Amino acid sequence: DGRRIAFASSRDGDAEIYVMDADGDDPRRLTHDPHSDTAPSWSPDGRYLAFLSDRSGGDRIYLLETSALDLPAPPEGLRHRRLTADRDLLAEAEITWAPTSDRIALIGVGDRTTSLWIAEVPRGDLRRLTDDGALDQGPSWSPSGEHLAFASNREGELDIYRVGADGGAPTRLTQEPGADWLPRWLPEPPQTGAEARGGGATRPTPGG
């Protein structure tokens, strides 16, 4: 709702997660751990705040329910929990929320490879979408949540691919010389009052 900003800071020593009002007032430290807590990311519905922490070894996703932000914070910070628990991954990175707030796409770091995964929220179940011995990076959700775009070097050059959020073979979208990366979907246009009431049609996003 635009009321708060989450951020990582080392102002008290190691990297921790903080939140403040949108005007900079009332900064509050949310995590208290001697390890590094970084990359805070709000769910689109505002219910959760996800972040990465290396307190269990490599970076893993942790989850905090934002309803607790309206309560006085105890000295040790607000309660949060580890979302994912796959022991085969060396680390998790590049977390990005689905538009529906029930899934997080992430890059799983393996031995000399990175691959695309989806974590279910709030259960934490992991599904692997790519397994090609390549370096996959930069996942981006389609507005409908049905597809993900990402960059990969699976065919030599770093190119843009699209894959269904439920799995399937990735489709290569770019084949020009040189590297392509950081895909971003065009958001769906906001509905007018008539469209929101069912009085008009919206144009679907191709491949979304």
Is 185 a domain residue? yes
**Total domain count for the chain?**
1
- pLDDT for the residue 69: 78
Dist. CA 96–CA 108, nearest whole Å: 13
Please state which of the ranges 35-44, 60-69, 100-109 shows the lowest mean pLDDT: 60-69
Mean pLDDT of the chain: 88
- pLDDT for the residue 2: 85
Is 135 a domain residue? yes
CA 208, distance to chain mean position in Å, is: 18
Is 204 a domain residue? no
Q: Which two tokens stand for residue 118?
A: 């989806």
Q: First CA to last CA across the chain, in angstroms?
A: 25
- pLDDT for the residue 203: 42
Is 50 a domain residue? yes
Is 163 a domain residue? yes
Strands 16-21 and 37-42: unpaired
Q: Please give the residue that has the higher pLDDT: either 193 or 67.
A: 67
Residues of the domain holding 94 = 4-196
Is 123 a domain residue? yes
Is 205 a domain residue? no
Please state which of the ranges 33-42, 60-69, 117-126, 180-189 shows the lowest mean pLDDT: 60-69
For residue 61, the domain's CATH number is 2.120.10.30
Dist. CA 83–CA 122, nearest whole Å: 7
Is 201 a domain residue? no
Residue 33, phi then psi, degrees to nearest 5: -150, 140
Q: Is the pLDDT of residue 194 over 60?
A: no
Query: Would you mind telling me the total number of residues written for the chain in this entry?
Result: 208
Segment 102-139, tens digit of pLDDT = 999 999 999 899 999 999 999 999 999 999 999 999 99
* pTM of the shown model: 0.86
- pLDDT for the residue 128: 95
17, 50 in Cβ contact below 8 A?
Answer: no
- pLDDT for the residue 92: 95
- pLDDT for the residue 68: 75
